[in-house]
Amino acid sequence: MIKKNGDAGHPRATGELLKIRRASAERFRAKWMPVRVKKTRQNKNLSSAAAIVLALGTAGMARAETAPVGVPDKSFPESVTSTSDGTLYVGSFNHGGVTKISGGKAEQLVKPGAADSRSTLGVLADEKSGTLYVCSNDISAMGVAGPSDVKGAWLKTFDLKSGAPKGSFALSDPKSFCNDIVVGADGTAYVSDSFAPFVYSLKPGGTALATFATDPQLAPAKDGVGLDGIAIGADGNLYVTTFIPAKLFKIEIKDGKAGAVTELKPSRPLDHADALRAHGGGFLLIEGNGKLDKVTVKGSEATIDTIKDGLAEPVSVTQVGDIGWVAEGKLSYVIGDNKGKDPGPFKLTPVALPK
How many CB atoms are located within 10 Å of the residue 58 CB?
17
CA distance 89 to 177: 21
99-292-328-134 Cα dihedral, nearest 10 degrees: 40
Rg (CA), the chain: 19
Express each pLDDT in 171-209 by its tens digit. 989 899 999 999 999 999 999 999 999 999 999 999 999
pLDDT of residue 56: 33
pLDDT of residue 52: 31
**Top-level class of domain 15-352:** mainly beta
Whole-number mean pLDDT of the chain? 86
E strand or H helix that includes residue 183:
strand 178-183
Instruction: Say if residues 134 and 98 touch (Cβ distance below 8 Å).
Output: yes
Residue 40: helix, strand or coil by DSSP? Answer: helix
Percent of the chain with pLDDT over 70: 82
pLDDT of residue 350: 97
E strand or H helix that includes residue 33:
helix 33-43
CA distance 31 to 34: 6
Does 14 score more than 60 pLDDT? no
Residue 8 phi, psi (nearest 5): -85, 175
pLDDT band at 62 (very low <50, low <70, confident <90, very high): very low
How many CB atoms are located within 10 Å of the residue 258 CB?
19
Express each pLDDT in 88-125 by its tens digit. 999 999 999 999 999 889 999 999 999 999 999 999 99
Residue 351 phi, psi (nearest 5): -130, 130
